[in-house]
Amino acid sequence: MTRRTAIGTIGGALAAMTVDAQTKRQYYEIRRYQLRNGVTNAMPTSKPAGLEGTFGAFNPVVGEGSPFLTMLFTYSSFAEAEKIDEKLGPYKGFIRYERTILRAFEAMPELNLPPKREGGGHIFELRTYESNDVASLAKKIEMFNKGEMQIFQRLGMNPVFFGEAIVGNSLPHLTYMLAYDDLAARDRVWKAFGSDPEWLKLRATPGLSDADIVSNISNTILRPTAFSDIR
């Protein structure tokens, strides 16, 4: 990272902190630990002590680079992210980790836990949309805020959070999480979404097609650990 890029990133984060004070949007951190094959007892088996926000911990069902552990932290302010390592244990057994900090969307300013499910937890899909530039990302975020997110909710796709990445790799991008009963339910709701009249009308709006505002989409299917608040 160059000095100019670093200054720009810090400036953007400070601006985000100002917006947070006005709108009370949460911040999220996605932390992915790349694990060593065969090492199963070095990562946490309980929620780290002292965490105040909702905490998620997930193992991969479908995802590149297995094995890995994905953690999700929630913060009331950007500044809280600076202190998180003080609350985490001295983990071992991982090769490296990556962290991304996101700011919640206006239309969903706080994380939403999925409804409790009898007989066990949900499976989760973490989806990331990269854009060519900040302007096209802003259009995609507006598309979610003013229509697409509401379609997800109506179809029972159980959105957990939506966030714009303000610190991390492959910027600019957004990430969101959906919850399903199982993989078959995932297939059903996405099929319904693809043929939904409101969605077809929204995506046909000039300038809002994926080709215009999304340069790459990636996803991971996750299963919550026993100590995850998000289940």
Considering Cα of 151, then 156, then 157, then 161, what sign does the dihedral take?
A: positive
What pLDDT is attached to residue 40?
61
Gap between the Cα atoms of 209 and 147, Å rounded: 14
What pLDDT is attached to residue 6?
43
What is the mean pLDDT, run by run of 10 residues, along the chain of 231 residues?
A: 44 45 83 83 82 94 89 95 86 89 98 89 97 97 98 98 97 98 97 98 95 96 96 95
Do 105 and 141 form a contact (C-beta atoms < 8 A)?
A: yes
Do 199 and 209 form a contact (C-beta atoms < 8 A)?
A: no
What pLDDT is attached to residue 91?
82
Q: Which domains does the chain have, with CATH numbers?
A: 3-224 (3.30.70.100)
Instruction: Look at residues 56, 86, 53 and name the one whose alpha carbon lies nearest to residue 69.
Output: 56
